Structure 1
Amino acid sequence: MSRPRRPARLILTALLAALGIAGFSALGVWQIERLHWKLDLIARVDARIHADPVPAPGPADWPGISAESAEYRRVALSGQFLADKTVLIYTPSDYGPADWVLTPLARDDGTVVMVNCGVVPDDIARAGGVTTPEGPVTVTGLLRISEDRGWLFSRENDPAARKWYRRDIGSITATLGLSPAAPYFVDAELGDPAAWPRGGQTVVAFRNAHLSYALTWFALAAVVALGAGLVFRHELRGRG
């Protein structure tokens, strides 16, 4: 089988090189954009978690709540826990297999907010070892956005059996008949460090490897450009 003629090889090399350089460069630029987004997120979350608590948003503010506008904001709310409507959601933890303990808090204004009271080892939770404070309480914690969407391999919620595998607040409050209910939940801060459930478990450390990813993509674009240059040099020398 004969080799392609030199002009055809040069054209093919140029096209492939252009595609490679453009593609890798685009990925590098995308990672730079992600880097700026991640740095803004880290700065925003750091400022919010160390701020003085503000009243948890009421019904008038619910339509405008989003991750950008409110997530990880430190809030305070008062009311009484509805212990009989507690929901356990399985989660891996530093204590081994465990459960999030989500209990609705009925506020004085008649609204309900789901409070993630913390984590408890699964064997303790399933044995009924979860205690809920009685009477009026004030909870301070971080506002979190409902986990409405599952991950690629996450199990589907089963509201009919009252089993949830993510903190899907809309599904939980609707199934429990709680209304009007906030579309967010609150991660309670750490109280008694020896008690269960144990609050203060919010993960606020975000992995940031976007710069290294960007450099990798730009390096690949440079390798393609260098390889194309060597091919052209070889072909042109051969032609001379």
Structure 2
Amino acid sequence: MGKLIAPLIFGAAGAAILISLGVWQMQRLEWKQGVLAEIQARINDAPVAVPVQPDPEGDRFLPVAAQGELTGEYLRVLVSQKRVGAGYRIISAFETEGRRILVDRGFMPVQSDDTPAAQGQVAYVGNLHWPEEVDSYTPAPDLAQNLWFARDVPAMADALNTEPVLLIARAATPADAAIAPLPVSTEGIPNDHLNYAITWFSLAIVWLGMTAFLAWRIRREQTQKAT
């Protein structure tokens, strides 16, 4: 029996650690679901006017309504949509109440023949956002082709001579049939805690199985020696 004590203690301790990590991930999952619910509720709030000095943290996802004029200046951001394929997010300069901001008008397929350089009066309802899409692997924009590979609000604002404020359209009046709005949602916010929890609990089961197998082998060897 003495040879079984150390493996059983080691097995129980390892399983306890793995199970506790799984429980912690379940607690993190509950916390993250609460955060996502708060964000979604904020996204769906009644729209307000665009703040005079928006804060990238405090005003992230703020629902806003704005009326003004598209200038015809725009940028294309290469993206891909499920069941649709490759296309562009169209980011346009938008003049509203004496200021210039950016408006993400939505998605246009690459094969579309329509021009996104719209001009004229438009009313938008949407959300402010400062996407964090640029990393060390993001290619620099191809300015000659007017092609960007991520939404970099400060850089796009410099390119279009606007404030570093991005309104992501949920609806436009009049609507542009060639561009489908891609409104802000919580779908792009990662929430992998359930997968992590399943991994830890699975490892705990494997660990306990290995411990049980080791104990069985030790017992079998002891029984064979006794006989």
Are 1:100 and 2:62 an aligned pair? Answer: no
**In the alignment, what sits opposite 1:40?**
34
**In the alignment, what sits opposite 2:177?**
195
Counting helix residues as a fraction of each chain, which structure ranks higher? 1
Structure 1 unaligned spans of 5+: 1-5
One-letter amino acid of the counterpart of residue 48, structure 1: R
Secondary structure of the structure 1 residue equivalent to 2:65: strand
2:167 corresponds, among 165, 169, 186, to 186
Paired with 2:28 and 2:142, the residues of 1 have a C-alpha distance of: 36
**In the alignment, what sits opposite 1:54?**
48
Structure 2 unaligned spans of 5+: none
**In the alignment, what sits opposite 1:171?**
155
Identity of aligned residues (%): 22
Q: Residues 39-188 of structure 1 correspond to what in structure 2 (within 5 A)?
A: 39-59=33-53, 61-62=54-55, 65-66=56-57, 69-84=58-73, 86-93=74-81, 94-110=83-99, 112-124=100-112, 127=113, 129-135=115-121, 137-150=122-135, 155-158=138-141, 160-161=143-144, 162-176=146-160, 178-179=161-162, 181-182=163-164, 184-188=165-169
How many residue pairs get aligned? The number is 218
Instruction: Give the drift of 1:119.
Output: 1.1
Give me the CA root mean square deviation. Answer: 3.5
Q: Report if the CA contact (8 A) 2:127-2:170 is conserved.
A: yes
One-letter amino acid of the counterpart of residue 147, structure 1: E
Q: Report if the CA contact (8 A) 1:190-1:198 is conserved.
A: no
Paired with 2:68 and 2:111, the residues of 1 have a C-alpha distance of: 29
Instruction: Give the drift of 1:33.
Output: 4.2
Larger mean Cα displacement after TM superposition, 90-99 or 220-229 = 220-229
Q: Report if the CA contact (8 A) 1:89-1:101 is conserved.
A: yes
TM-score between both structures, scaled by the size of structure 1: 0.71
One-letter amino acid of the counterpart of residue 193, structure 2: H
Secondary structure of the structure 1 residue equivalent to 2:179: coil
Q: Structure 1 pair 97/160, CA: closer, same or farther in 2 (3 Å)?
A: closer
Q: Report if the CA contact (8 A) 2:11-2:208 is conserved.
A: no
**In the alignment, what sits opposite 1:3?**
none
Secondary structure of the structure 1 residue equivalent to 2:134: coil
Instruction: Give the drift of 1:194.
Output: 6.8
TM-score between both structures, scaled by the size of structure 2: 0.74
Q: Structure 1 pair 123/188, CA: closer, same or farther in 2 (3 Å)?
A: same
Secondary structure of the structure 1 residue equivalent to 2:157: helix
Paired with 2:153 and 2:97, the residues of 1 have a C-alpha distance of: 20
Q: Structure 1 pair 187/95, CA: closer, same or farther in 2 (3 Å)?
A: same
Q: Report if the CA contact (8 A) 2:76-2:91 is conserved.
A: yes
Paired with 1:200 and 1:56, the residues of 2 have a C-alpha distance of: 19
